Amino acid sequence: MNHAKQHYDGLTYPKVVVVGGGFAGLEVVRGLANKPFKVLLLDKQNHHCFQPLLYQVATASLGADSIAHPFRRTIGPLPNVAFRMAEVQEVLPERRVVRTNVGEFEYDILVLALGSTTNFFGNQQLAEVAMQLKSISQALDIRSDFLQEFERAMVLREENDLRRCLNFVIVGAGPTGVELAGALAEIRRTVLKREYREMDSELMRIVLIDSNDRVLKNFSEKSSANALRYLQELGVEVQLNTRVAGGDPDHITLADGTVLETNTVIWAAGVKGVLVPGLDKAVNERAHRYTVDRTNQLQGYPGVYALGDIALMEEGDAWPKGHPQVATVAIQQGRHLVANLLRSSNGQAARPFTYLDKGSMAVIGRGRAVVEMGGRSYGGVFAWLLWMLVHVVQLVGFRNRIMVLVNWAWKYLSWKNTIRLIIRPYVREGTAVSRPAALEGEAAPVPHQA
């Protein structure tokens, strides 16, 4: 890493271009603040998104603004950091340039931290019908969607349409799938029961599908068992050892041929790294990530680093197949890279990265969570409180912490998901609305008006 060194000899600061302001990228930007580097952050969004709480935006517990933080709020005061809202289209390593939709930017050091996107494993059919939960707009779409299904259900006459309308299928029982399923199940118990009185809330089904033999497969057996019990207590139908073969707007088909009629499929079954054209030598096709050494430097591209979800680092026997694609890895790799860059600017050698697994947690509902820490697993209310604490502390921005606390206090005292705003038109294909038949003639009677 003597590229930085050279610049010091010339008394100029190295240009560090960071692509992506997720957990890893933001860590790097903050770490290099007021240090002898010229930092430029590029992101196609203007805000950092706290992804672990996206599902709460999708389920009307938090407003989007509570988990998002404008990059300029962080970067504004920093003299040596700039931000540009831009989508990176290509890296030209020989010229040390990144090409974006708003022009080219030079770099001495390139830090790629683009995170991951939903992986449909090539199933185009599903990619078209299923919803995802990787961005704020997707979360808002899911929120609008399930609320619109509820409202649709109130005017449908055919019980079959009604059941399809209220059948929510979530594929993938990792933390995201489990947390979504749990939150929807709580909405059935509270919102649907109380505020859609004319409808039988039991008509709503939440089906959680996974191809593994247990939920939260990266957690301990004990935590998986707890999570499964919590989900079942809340009335989630968990279908394990089950694969989804295909989907249409009004149903999905399982590998064994079973058909589930539904308007709403949420795909949380896998992610893949967001790669950029121009660095092919380092791409690991199978994992869809960049092969990096222990300093996160791309194989064959000096001065180019990949962090977090897109980085595939073999860490000896501990992580022979690379690290899990979670926030803690991204944060630790970001901090480690900063340390190495500062060491190199002092002429010291870089140190290899070692992942410190702080454990993992998932929340299923009020008073129901599982936590893995220090080789032990905890459940119940303690885990739930711990989960809330950890997430509030990690949020970027003091205001966001306040907002989340106020919202949670409100929600858990009032048993209400209040942020139930439908802010976009009902556009999804195949739903009752797009079928003229469902729009004509007499609506389902309003019982108390009959």
Catalytic residue ranges: 179
For the range 296-302, what are the long-range contacts, defined as Cβ-Cβ under 8 Å and sequence gap of 24 or more? 296/333, 296/336, 296/337, 296/353, 297/1, 298/112, 301/93, 302/3
User: How far apart, in whole angstroms, are the C-alpha atoms of residue 413 and residue 399?
Assistant: 21
Q: Residue 122 or residue 447: which is nearer to a second copy going by CB? A: 447
CB 184 within 8 A of CB 282: no
Site string for a second copy, 193-232 (x = CB under 8 A): -xxxxx----------------------------------
Q: Does 33 help bind a second copy (rule: CB under 8 A)?
A: no
- Count Cβ neighbours within 10 Å for each residue of 285-300 and write b for 16 or more, e otherwise: eebbbbbbeebbbbbe
Q: How far is the CB of 424 from a second copy (least distance, A)?
A: 7
Of 342, 397, 401, 434, which lies in the binding site for a second copy, with binding defined by CB under 8 A?
A: 397
Q: How far is the CB of 193 from a second copy (least distance, A)?
A: 10
Q: Does 79 help bind a second copy (rule: CB under 8 A)?
A: yes
Cβ atoms < 10 Å from Cβ of 249: 14
Q: Which of residues 116-145 bind a second copy (CB under 8 A)?
A: 136-137, 140
Q: With contacts defined by CB under 8 A, how many residues of the chain interact with a second copy?
A: 69
Q: Does 151 help bind a second copy (rule: CB under 8 A)?
A: yes
Q: What are the structure tokens assigned to 447, written together? A: 């019982």
Question: Element (H or E) spanning 363, and its range?
Answer: strand 360-365
Q: Which of residues 305-324 bind a second copy (CB under 8 A)?
A: none
Of 33, 64, 225, 342, which lies in the binding site for a second copy, with binding defined by CB under 8 A?
A: 64
CB 133 within 8 A of CB 55: yes
Of 30, 36, 45, 339, which lies in the binding site for a second copy, with binding defined by CB under 8 A?
A: 45
CB 444 within 8 A of CB 154: yes
Q: What are the structure tokens assigned to 444, written together? A: 């389902």
Q: Does 403 help bind a second copy (rule: CB under 8 A)?
A: yes
Query: Which range of residues in 71-79, 258-266, 331-339, 353-361 is near a second copy by CB under 8 A?
Result: 71-79
Q: Does 23 help bind a second copy (rule: CB under 8 A)?
A: no
Q: Is the dihedral of CA 168, 230, 223, 136 positive or negative?
A: positive
Q: Residue 246 or residue 397: which is nearer to a second copy going by CB? A: 397
Cα 208 → chain centroid? 18
Rg (CA), the chain: 24
- Residues within the interface to a second copy (CB under 8 A): 15, 38, 40, 45-47, 63-66, 68, 70, 72-73, 75-77, 79-80, 82, 84-86, 100-106, 136-137, 140, 147-148, 151, 154-155, 191, 194-198, 397, 399, 402-403, 406, 410, 414, 416, 418-424, 439-444, 446-449
